[in-house]
Amino acid sequence: MLQPLLFAFLFFAFVAARQARLAAAGHAPHHYMNRFKIAKRQSGDANTPLMLTNWCPDSVWPAIDSQGGTGPSNTGFELASGDNQTEYVSSDWQGRVWGRTNCTFSGHGGGSACTTGDCGGLEACQGPGAPPATLAEFTLNGGQQQTFYDLSLVDGYNLPMAIVMLPNSNTDLTTLDPSTTNPSCVASAGNLAPPTFNPYTNSQQFLGTDSNSPLPFDTKITAATISQWCPWDLQVTPPSKPANGAYPYPDTKIPRPAFDPCYSACAKYNTDAYCCTGTADERGKCSPNYYSKAAKQVCPDAYSYAYDDQDSTFVQPTGGGFQMIFCPGGRSTDIIGRKGVGVIEHT
Ligand SMILES: *[C@@H]1O[C@H](CO)[C@@H](O)[C@H](O)[C@H]1NC(C)=O
Ligand SMILES: *[C@@H]1O[C@H](CO)[C@@H](O)[C@H](O)[C@H]1NC(C)=O
């Protein structure tokens, strides 16, 4: 009798201590991005690097939207396959980064210029993009000298993406184990390596890690399941059955395209229950929906719905920069699942 009780007590104490730490850091139990109010500025010390790297076989058009601090000089541009480009933001910057696909800016007639992630048809974005898009979100200084960041599928998924923390010679950060700071989300068939994936043979590095600090990768997703994860009704372009033209619902036998962007249930239906808004805007009143459950399976370290913050927000001392890699390859990381939720809080 004693043991389960003791365990329950320890677990409760752990959760309570964690809540207290998060609250002390100004980290209310909700998507942290909504809780920090950081004023936007036009100019400031923009010396924190955001490196955008494209390992996709096609061009990606990265976009950067600022909610606070000083944004980069270039908020959207073409990044050819294999290229990288570094933009600089202020050390208190808050915002998001995503990749746009299939863009044509000249002569698109004023509507959308990109298939996914479009921002009003502009090349240099002046606001957030259209869902679905995989996001990297940052609050570089959320108070008490702490940086908060995450990968988010809350607005849907378009491209595989990884975040590699750049310590910037900051000793608070160079000492962190990189296998706990660099999450990756790979949910596209063409970009997924087999479950036995090991990038560390021959002393190679991968996403800022090596065999001394190997990233824990998901081992359950297969090539067959990855192409089916997006719920049928949330696909941007669901394939139609050859010959009869009607949408079968759902039909697992119909092959899907390799590039299969996926709306979140919130982005597609915009209901309080799916978006955790209105009467569902409270912890315990908003549960993971069919989309967020599927998203969490393919990308365990990413936000899947608005109250997923306990499992998805990386916290560390300020001073770091970040590299965003589109189509990192390999497999999704499962840092939190395999190492415990505490490892992503470097406080
Ligand atoms: C970025 O691109 C430049 C040239 O395009 C290359 O020399 C450099 O190694 C690249 N850096 C990274 C981190 O990929
Ligand atoms: C759209 O972009 C995706 C991802 O970059 C790519 O796989 C696909 O081939 C592109 N489609 C077209 C029609 O260019």
Q: Which ligand does the CA of 101 lie closest to?
A: 2
CA distances from 145 to 34, 150, 182, 249, 331 (A): 18, 17, 20, 50, 32
Asked if pLDDT for residue 293 goes beyond 70, the answer is yes
Q: Is residue 198 part of a domain?
A: no
pLDDT tens for 109-151 read 778 999 999 999 999 999 999 999 999 999 999 988 999 999 9
Number of domains the chain is built from = 1
In angstroms, the CA 289 to CA 11 distance is: 26
Out of 101, 103, 227, 260, mutate this one to test ligand 2's pocket (max ligand atoms within 8 Å of CB): namely 101
Q: Is residue 211 part of a domain?
A: no
pLDDT tens for 144-197 read 899 999 999 999 999 999 999 999 999 999 999 999 999 999 999 989 999 999
Q: Which residues neighbour 340 within 8 Å (Cβ) at sequence distance 6 or greater?
A: none
Report for 36-45, 234-243, 312-321: range of highest mean pLDDT? 312-321
Calculate mean pLDDT across residues 276-292. Answer: 89
Residue minimizing CA distance to atom 13 of ligand 2: 102
CB 59 less than 6 A from any atom of ligand 2: no
Are 262 and 133 in contact, with CB atoms under 8 Å apart? no
In angstroms, the CA 222 to CA 195 distance is: 7
Task: State which residues form the domain around 88.
Answer: 4-191+218-344
Q: What is the pLDDT of residue 29?
A: 35
Q: Is residue 200 part of a domain?
A: no
Q: What mean pLDDT, rounded, does the chain reach?
A: 86
Q: Which of 324, 325, 330, 265 is nearest to 292 (CA)?
A: 265
CB 53 less than 6 A from any atom of ligand 1: yes
Among 39-43, 187-191, 201-205, 293-297, the range scoring the smallest mean pLDDT is 39-43
In angstroms, the CA 47 to CA 195 distance is: 39
Q: What is the pLDDT of residue 212?
A: 95
Provide the pLDDT confidence category of residue 300 given band limits of 50, 70 and 90: very high
The CA 131 to ligand 1 mean position distance, Å, reads: 29
The pair of three-digit structure tokens given for residue 210, joined into one six-digit string: 């090596």
Q: What is the pLDDT of residue 19?
A: 36
Q: What is the pLDDT of residue 213?
A: 96
Q: What is the pLDDT of residue 70?
A: 95
The CA 56 to ligand 1 mean position distance, Å, reads: 15
Out of 55, 84, 182, 206, mutate this one to test ligand 1's pocket (max ligand atoms within 8 Å of CB): namely 84
Calculate mean pLDDT across residues 21-37. Answer: 48
pLDDT tens for 43-60 read 668 999 999 999 999 999
Helix then strand then coil, in percent of the chain rounded to 5, is 25, 25, 55
CB 86 less than 6 A from any atom of ligand 1: no
Asked if pLDDT for residue 104 goes beyond 80, the answer is yes
Out of 159, 259, 325, mutate this one to test ligand 2's pocket (max ligand atoms within 8 Å of CB): namely 259
Asked if pLDDT for residue 24 goes beyond 70, the answer is no
Calculate mean pLDDT across residues 210-239. Answer: 92
Q: Is residue 96 part of a domain?
A: yes
Calculate mean pLDDT across residues 201-221. Answer: 96
Among 33-37, 51-55, 69-73, 265-269, the range scoring the smallest mean pLDDT is 33-37
CATH number for the domain spanning 34: value is: 2.60.110.10
Cα dihedral 220, 225, 230, 235 sign: positive
In angstroms, the CA 278 to CA 201 distance is: 50
Q: Is residue 209 part of a domain?
A: no
Report the percent of the chain where pLDDT is more than 90. 67
Asked if pLDDT for residue 20 goes beyond 50, the answer is no
In angstroms, the CA 153 to CA 332 distance is: 13
Q: What is the strand order of the sheet 321-326 is part of?
A: 84-90, 46-54, 321-326, 161-166, 184-185
> Taking the chain, what is the end-to-end CA distance rounded to the nearest angstrom?
35
- E strand residue ranges, 81-141: 84-90, 94-100, 135-139
CB 263 less than 6 A from any atom of ligand 2: no
Asked if pLDDT for residue 263 goes beyond 80, the answer is yes
Q: Is residue 213 part of a domain?
A: no
Residue minimizing CA distance to atom 8 of ligand 1: 84
Q: Is residue 205 part of a domain?
A: no
Q: What is the pLDDT of residue 75?
A: 97
Q: What is the pLDDT of residue 6?
A: 39
Q: What is the pLDDT of residue 109?
A: 72
CB 259 less than 6 A from any atom of ligand 2: yes
Among 57-66, 177-186, 336-345, the range scoring the smallest mean pLDDT is 336-345
Q: Is residue 103 part of a domain?
A: yes
The CA 189 to ligand 2 mean position distance, Å, reads: 13
Q: What is the pLDDT of residue 256?
A: 84
Q: Which ligand does the CA of 117 lie closest to?
A: 2
The pair of three-digit structure tokens given for residue 74, joined into one six-digit string: 């270039």
Asked if pLDDT for residue 271 goes beyond 80, the answer is yes
In angstroms, the CA 287 to CA 319 distance is: 35
Asked if pLDDT for residue 26 goes beyond 60, the answer is no
Q: What is the pLDDT of residue 43?
A: 64
Q: What is the pLDDT of residue 99?
A: 98
